[in-house]
Amino acid sequence: MAPSFRPLLLLLASLLIMQTMAAEAETCTDCFIHSRAAYYPNSDEQGTDSGACGFGSFGATLNGGDVSAASDLYRGGIGCGACYQVRCTSSNYCTDKGVTIIITDQGSSHDTDFILSKQAFGRMAQNSDAAASLLALGVIDIEYRRVSCSYPNKNITIKIDENSNHPHYLAFVIWYQQGKRDITAVQLCETQNFVCKLLDRSYGAVWTTTSPPSGPLTLRMLFSGEDGDETWVIPVNNIPQDWKAGETYDTGVQVNG
């Protein structure tokens, strides 16, 4: 090979490697993203029972209390129920595993993506002394990535809001959202003639409708992935005709994709 061609080939090879690395960075869904995190300074060890996702007291103890508020990741409520692996970056205090949290609220502080429960914040540490040091810092550098939510022996469940008024107004929140995809739309359908009505996202994970369909109702949920894939999921169990405010109903399905 003529020596004059070698610099050109080396340049082309370098450009190809850089393009490949850039493409992998753009498509990587499992890569960690650098950010910052704080914790609820006035909270108990677990989360808040008045979060912006509408989970209520259930949201304070969900995932054993390892929960968090999110800023941009709240995404107008679409991010409610999403799971993230969060780990701090100091080798003096932090573990490689970090903690898995669930988004149950909206909030930001000091350019953070997460405001963790006090318990979850401490779980990123190597031991109790390291946890005390992290809590003393208040705001720390972290890295995070989205992970699949898992609730063994639990099906997706809906909780009818206390303000619902049968048969004129129906509002409910979705619990135990498994997998790594978002619920981006919800429909209610009459089981006899399959007439469906698209619900409104009131806020967070709360879906509402005035004049809901009558009779036993079939729920349809649209699960959307980061890759653009969308799937309508129809639960096994129906919402009974005489649904009541405050009641919970097991849909009979798990969606782990």
pLDDT given for residue 25 in this prediction: 46
pTM of the predicted model as reported, rounded to 2 decimal places = 0.87
pLDDT given for residue 10 in this prediction: 59
Separation of CA 15 from chain center = 37
pLDDT given for residue 172 in this prediction: 98
Q: List all residues 6 or more positions away from 147 whose beta carbon is below 8 Å from its beta carbon.
A: 83, 84, 85, 100, 180
**pLDDT tens over the chain, length 257 residues:** 555 556 555 555 555 555 555 444 455 778 999 999 999 877 667 888 889 999 999 999 999 999 999 999 999 999 999 999 999 999 999 999 999 999 999 998 889 999 999 999 999 999 999 999 999 999 999 999 999 999 999 999 999 999 999 999 999 999 999 999 999 999 999 998 889 999 999 999 999 999 999 999 999 999 999 999 999 999 999 999 999 999 999 999 999 87
Q: Count of alpha carbons within 13 Å of 164, Cβ hemisphere only?
A: 25
pLDDT given for residue 8 in this prediction: 59
Q: What is the DSSP letter of 176?
A: -
pLDDT given for residue 13 in this prediction: 56
Q: Give the three-state DSSP class for 257.
A: coil
Q: Judge contact between 234 and 219, C-beta under 8 A.
A: yes
From 210, 180, 212, 161, select the one nearest 53 (Cα to Cα). 161
From 113, 33, 111, select the one nearest 75 (Cα to Cα). 113
pLDDT given for residue 128 in this prediction: 97
